[in-house]
Amino acid sequence: DIAFLAADPAREDRLLFSPAYALIEGTLVVREATPYRTFQDVDAEGVEICVTRNAAYDLYLSRRLAHAKIVHSPTPGEALEMFVEGKHHATAGVRQALERFASAREGFRVLAEPFLVIRQTIAVSCSHPAAGLLVREFVEEALRGGFSENVIRDAQRNGVALAN
């Protein structure tokens, strides 16, 4: 079995990761009227950030936040719903999804700078090292041959960077 997910140190005890085939920005959406301009602005006492449980950005924020509190939701959509209801200060997510959300509503904006660059990979269980090697070799060859660029272009994934 394989998974397409972000490489993260918290997952390395059970998963082997291929080289990254795409880089995706993790960022925050906030209300337009707030003073928040950077990740550091949001990491403050009393600030609550809606985050999808176990997403790459959740794992990162759980290690990185010094002051702000994480409020978990089961899905990205539910995190945004909680945020819209006015109970929290920001929502973490993938830039493309947050930009779609903010552009469809008045009063919201996405922070310009990402707090995380998510390395999207193919992963297999650590219990299958031969499969891990096969997946690694496949991704390395695909990257050399331009496969990722073609797939991302064909899927029209604007804003997704290719890993080198």
Query: Same domain for 81 and 152?
Result: no
Q: What is the pLDDT of residue 112?
A: 96
Query: Same domain for 135 and 97?
Result: no
The token pair at 55 is: 């997403």
Query: Same domain for 96 and 138?
Result: no
Range of the domain at 137: 2-22+118-162
Number of separate domains in the chain: 2
Query: Same domain for 60 and 111?
Result: yes
| CA separation for the pair 59, 62 (Å, rounded) | 5
Tens-place pLDDT, residues 110-149: 999 999 999 999 999 999 999 999 999 999 988 888 766 6
The predicted model scores a pTM of 0.84
For the chain, percent of residues with pLDDT exceeding 90: 80
Query: Same domain for 98 and 42?
Result: yes
The token pair at 109 is: 């904006």
| CA separation for the pair 89, 25 (Å, rounded) | 20
Angle of helix 147-154 relative to helix 129-145, nearest 10 degrees, comes to 80
* 92 alpha-carbon distance from chain centroid: 8
The token pair at 146 is: 């331009």
| CA separation for the pair 120, 90 (Å, rounded) | 24
Query: Same domain for 43 and 95?
Result: yes
Number of neighbouring beta carbons within 10 Å of residue 54: 14
Domain stop point among 81, 101, 116: 116
Query: Same domain for 92 and 66?
Result: yes
